[in-house]
Amino acid sequence: MAKNKENEKMIREEAGRKGGETTSRNHDKEFFQEIGEKGGKATSKSQNKEFFREIGEKGGKASNKNSNS
């Protein structure tokens, strides 16, 4: 039974990848900028300063690790 669950997951992953590729081909840079802006506005309405402070710290740590390589 575990194999079936694993195979099902791979099928979903493949479908998601193909859907993403199709979306990428059908839309231009402006489309992705617009949906990114909408998502950013929605996030800023639903989250507080602490949320942004935490993700900023995480991003800074990841960036710092990458620059030390």
Residue 62's pLDDT is 83
Residue 4's pLDDT is 57
Residue 49's pLDDT is 94
What span, in angstroms and rounded, lies between the C-alpha atoms of 34 and 39?
9
Q: Is 59 left (phi over 0), alpha (psi -120 to 50) or beta?
A: alpha
pLDDT tens, position by position, 6-48: 667 778 999 999 999 999 999 999 999 999 999 999 999 999 9
Q: Which two tokens stand for residue 41?
A: 């506005």
Residue 66's pLDDT is 79
What span, in angstroms and rounded, lies between the C-alpha atoms of 3 and 11?
12
pTM: 0.55
What span, in angstroms and rounded, lies between the C-alpha atoms of 55 and 36?
17
